[in-house]
Structure 1
Amino acid sequence: MVYFPVRKCYHVAKICLLLLLVVSLLALFEHYRGGKRATKAELSDPIEAEYERQILEDEARIIPGLGEGGVAAHLLGEDKRLGEESEKKLAINVHLSERIAYNRTLKDHRNPACKRVVYDAELPSASVVIIFHNEPYSVVVRTIWSVVNSARRDQPWYQHANFVDRDTGRTMTLGYPGQDPNSPLVYLKEIILVDDNSTLPELKGKLSHYIRTRLPPDLIRILRLPDRVGLTRARLAGARYAAGDVLVFLDAHCEAQRDWLRPLLGRIKHAPHAVVVPIIDVVGASDFYYSVQDPAVFQVGGFTFMGHFTWIDVPEREKKRRGSDISPTWSPTMAGGLFAINRAYYWELGAYDEQMAGWGGENLEISFRIWQCGGTLETVPCSRVGHVFRSFHPYGLPAHSDTHGINTARMAEVWMDEYAELFYLHRPDLRKNPKIGDVTHRRVLREKLHCKSFQWYLDNVYPDKFVPVAHVHGYGRFSNPGSGLCLDTLQREAGSPLGVYPCHARLHATQYLALSLAGQLRTEEDCAELQYARENLGWKIIPQPEFPQPEGSSSETALRVS
């Protein structure tokens, strides 16, 4: 007979059962927390506990309903004064921003026709790249939430889609190719935050803790640069880090409208060489009012030969070409802060010029390159994103250098051909300046891509652009040989009277005037008119007509008045 120690077996079985229960509970707990450290474990770290305390205080500071729907938000009393002080210092009412919900909703400002557009269910994946340097913490977090919330699978607009491939008859699933159909988000593969060496402590550990504890796991990655490199190089770093089919660049102070991403991805799916931008709406820096005057009216990008971006009305010829108010609309340039591009095409096109430092000029450079090298630059009207436009930059550029001027000179040297002289008219100090650096590799890129001339760009993309050396009977100085004085803008704003000033030894931008084919005395942007009541000559802005290419216009004439 075999004897079994019943009491001992009972205790062993009891211990095994207890161990099995503990292991099961641990497994369930690990699944629940999604592979992340549990809050209690985090709070056992005093640093993490401090971050959590600060975030809870931030959340308690939020006033429910303030600014909801994108309406203007206002504070009273001492809070109002503190808000105004923060805006003077940071160009954004940070005190107010901290009291508005991070994930506030916005009124739908799209053209009503956009609601009837049916997009393919299957679209390319998107990597959203956001650059920040010492941005207000609450503004950065609101930008992140805006992107995340708009990509939630349960948003009602995603149920309105085409699920059958028109070419193959294949049934498509909602999302990007290969995406888990049970994923809570659609199309959004990742958000890449590039910290361009911020010095504000809340943008370090506190921001990381917030993302780790309050946002979807494994969606957001932070790339922290060891040195400040500026917008252009920071975006290059983010693009190298990205894995999505489409790169979507956003500034760190944005709020997206509902269903903003699909129109961009849909256009790129069907036109991989189209670089697309949303309509950029204004979010007030003082009150966070989301401002839209007319959902059906918007502007596209232009430029000045001084090297600045401008907004222009959509020309009549483009309205006829596009065929519909909500069709992709050609834009000669883009503001540069918000756009989407096929990732493979971005690298094929030459990405950004790595020798451009800081900020400025990169938007015109990539705009000209897109058009001259075979792509198109388009505004997609059914995509709208709000942007906080600040009145000044609250932080300096690297080494406080003239990055806008230097970058623009690099652009002019490579892409503007003989028209670069119009830029140097405004910036003679940069002509042959060693600060510009070597542009040989960018000229090689232009040859490799078989890009067209800047004259082709002006003739075909921006024919309504007034060119001071082309659309004129003559150009130069209005001088009085007897007195040696010339008409001069005196660097005054538009609407101010013209003055006189001793003629410069070389033609200077303030004395550069043209007599247009329409008989107007003008600069690139403004026209002169005689104000009889005040008996002086003043400026006023006028709509620019579409100028024909002149025949026999003179580039040698010196215009003289006695």
Structure 2
Amino acid sequence: MRRFVYCKVVLTTSLVWVLVDVFLLLYFSECNKCDDRKDHSLLPALRAVMSRAHEGPGEMGKAVVIAKDEQEKMKELFKINQFNLMASDMIALNRSLPDVRLDGRSVVCPIIDVISDETFEYMAGSDMTYGGFNWKLNFRWYPVPQREMDRRKGDRTLPLRTPTMAGGLFSIDRTYFEEIGTYDPGMDIWGGENLEMSFRIWQCGGSLEIITCSHVGHVFRKATPYSFPGGTGQVINKNNRRLAEVWMDGFKDFFYIISPGVARVDYGDVSSRKTLREALQCKPFSWYLENIYPDSQIPRRYYSLGEIRNVETNQCVDNMGRKENEKVGFFNCHGMGGNQVFSYTADKEIRTDDLCLDVSRPHGPVVMLKCHQMKGNQMFEYDAEYVGKWEYDIEKHTFLHIITQSCLTISRLEDGTWGPTVEYCNSSPLQAWVMRNFTRLEVFRKLYYSPTDYFL
């Protein structure tokens, strides 16, 4: 709660209330028969707007008396105030983003609060999450890592460096915005533009931060109001291919291999965007992962990216579309990527996106748990350096789970089914595994059953 004490001296943004005010002003001023309407769903929003007015007296805003008598008094209040008075006097429009003025290459975002699309209930967002993305290039919120907490010395009111932004809600110097190429004109409708701009800002010498004492509310709808020619997936995949081709260098393999179908999507001409990258002398994506997003779901160093095939059964480890804390399975190797794509990393993790293979107990089934960067499943009281780690023996072709000193194998589970588990190491071929490295060329040409390139 101490953070809120700090934030009292920090100018806060209230753009959302202006937007809601405009909407409500038009609604109440233009409707001549509002008394006849039975739909009072906007009243909670109006009360919310009015209730915020008293939070900023003096320079922060002008107090407004809240009418207790519902619709008529509210309607009259809106007619009297009109938009200009409301926007300039009642709502605080302070510049809470001074970093943009001090550093023209700094792009800043607010914490995004949630406004219910049904009740207009206002729910504050968290300052303990920041923007990231997964292998499929979906934007995700992840917990702020300890390294960023340490950089700010525990002061949560200081700007929070974020690898990516949600998009739409950010402040940027107009000259700088034009200098780095505005939005990619080859992208359509919606999707991918936030990651593309995030990569571009960081890789081309800018910075991206969340101002933790700046809050902007957003109404999250259950369905998109946009129409997507060719379908939502077609448009988003096109946009994602454009950002991957221009900014991700060889790390775009992760995107293509886990979602091989996107290779069929035409992404247009990106030559002008590549020329822009060269002109701006932008850094490689490896630099971004190393310096800006070291805890990315995409490992910076890895030994393999593809199938993990059992020598005896000739079947592959498969996530079966399951989620965190669920058992991993195995299935006939199909060579099409997707659920059978795993990366064995230099950190000795076996991961698929943000989930790592681990065991919840000795001799138990292999499950998928959140990758914790050297914290593993945290269920064993051992040196954290080895929890959740697997040692691959290149001669025996075995995966040794370091903490339990057991080998990855296929055996019968407690429920009677067969699946990956860990057992005492022996010479059984059920404990022998080979890893296959997919290549983009395979995905594009669909040479899924070409001569093998198993290398371990």
Please state which band the TM-score falls in when normalised by the shorter chain. Answer: 0.5 to 0.7
> For the structure 1 residues 307 and 104, does the alpha-carbon distance in structure 2 shift closer, same or farther, using more than 3 Å as the test?
same
1:405 aligns with 2:237: yes
Q: Which residue of 1 aligns with 2:83?
A: 215
Matched, 1:375 2:276: no
Equivalent position of 2:100 in the other structure:
268
Q: Does 1:540 align with 2:369?
A: yes
How far the C-alpha of 1:258 sits from its partner, in A, is 7.3
Post-superposition Cα deviations, 1:423-470, rounded to whole Å, max 9, x if no partner, equal 111232333x46200000101111111111111111111112243461
On the 8 A contact 1:478/1:559 being kept in 2, the answer is no
Q: Could you say which residue in structure 2 is the equivalent of 1:530?
A: 359
Is 2:57 aligned against 1:156?
A: yes
Seen in structure 2, the aligned counterparts of structure 1 residues 52 and 298 have a Cα distance that, compared at 3 Å, is closer
Higher-Rg structure is 1
Question: How far does the alpha carbon of each residue in 1:170-219 deviate from its partner, in whole angstroms, 9 at most, with x for none?
Answer: xxxxxxxxxxxxxx9xxxxxxxxxxxxxxxxxxxxxxxxx99x94229x9
Task: Check 1:531–1:463 CA distance in 2 against 1; reply closer, same or farther (3 A cut).
Answer: closer
Q: Distance in 2 between matches of 1:96 and 1:493?
A: 40
Greater mean deviation of Cα atoms: 442-451 or 516-525: 516-525
Question: Do residues 299 (structure 1) and 132 (structure 2) align?
Answer: no
Structure 2 unaligned runs (5+)?
1-26, 63-77, 377-384, 386-390, 400-408, 410-429, 431-456
Tell me which residue corresponds to 1:489: 319
Q: Secondary structure at the match of 1:359?
A: coil
Equivalence for 1:228:
none
- Which secondary structure state, in structure 2, belongs to the residue aligned with residue 282 of structure 1? strand
Structural mapping, 1:315-354, within 5 Å: 315-323=145-153, 324-354=155-185
1:468/1:475 contact within 8 Å kept? no
CA contact (8 A) 2:131 2:166 kept: yes
Cα deviations by residue, 1:238-282 (Å, 9 ceiling, x for unpaired): xxxxxxxxxxxxxxxxxxx97574212x22111111110001122
Deviation at 1:473, TM superposition (A): 5.3
Deviation sequence 1:131-157 (CA, Å, 0-9, x none)? xxxxxxxxxxxxxxxxxx79xxx9525
Cα distance between partner residues in 2 of 1:519 and 1:403: 36
Contact preservation (8 Å) 1:465, 1:546: no
What is the DSSP-based 3-state SS (H/G/I as helix, E as strand, rest coil) of the residue aligned with 1:105? helix
Local SS of the residue matching 2:44:
coil
| Aligned mates of 1:451, 1:347 — CA distance in 2 | 16
Instruction: Give the counterpart letter for 1:427 in structure 2.
Output: S
Structure 1 partner of 2:141? 311
Q: CA RMSD in A?
A: 4.0
Distance 2:166 2:225 in 1: 19
Q: Is the 8 A contact 1:259 1:383 kept in 2?
A: no
Q: Which runs of no fewer than 5 residues in structure 1 stay unpaired?
A: 1-50, 62-78, 80-94, 109-148, 161-183, 185-209, 221-256
Q: How far did residue 416 of structure 1 move?
A: 0.5
- Check conservation: 1:300, 1:313, Cα contact below 8 A: yes
Question: 2:237 touches 2:265 (CA, 8 Å); kept in 1?
Answer: no
- Residue 409 and residue 310 in structure 1: after superposition, are their counterparts in 2 closer, same or farther (change >3 A)? same
1:426 to 234, 248, 258: 258
Asked whether the 8 Å contact 2:44–2:119 carries over to 1, the reply is: no
Report how many residues are paired: 343
Letter in 2 for 1:55: C
* Displacement of 1:404: 1.2
Aligned residues of 1:474 and 1:559 also touching (Cα < 8 A): no
Identity of aligned residues (%): 34
Is 2:48 the counterpart of 1:104? yes
Identify the residue that residue 309 of structure 2 maps to in structure 1.
479
Residues 367 and 293 (structure 1), Cα distance of their counterparts in 2 relative to 1, 3 Å cut: closer
Q: For the residues of structure 2 that align with 1:321 and 1:104, how far apart are their CA atoms?
A: 36
Change (3 A) 1:440 1:298: same
Decide whether the 8 Å contact of 2:44 with 2:121 is kept in 1.
no
1:415 aligns with 2:359: no
What residue is the counterpart of 2:335 in the other structure?
Answer: 505
Q: Tell me the TM-score normalised to structure 1 length.
A: 0.53
CA distance in structure 1 between the aligned counterparts of 2:95 and 2:231, rounded to whole angstroms: 39
Q: Distance in 1 between matches of 2:374 and 2:32?
A: 57
SS at match of 1:381: strand
Q: Structure 1 residues 503 and 52 mapped into 2: Cα distance closer, same or farther (>3 Å)? A: closer
Instruction: Check the 8 A contact 1:283/1:289 in 2, yes or no.
Output: yes
- Secondary structure of 1:216's counterpart equals helix
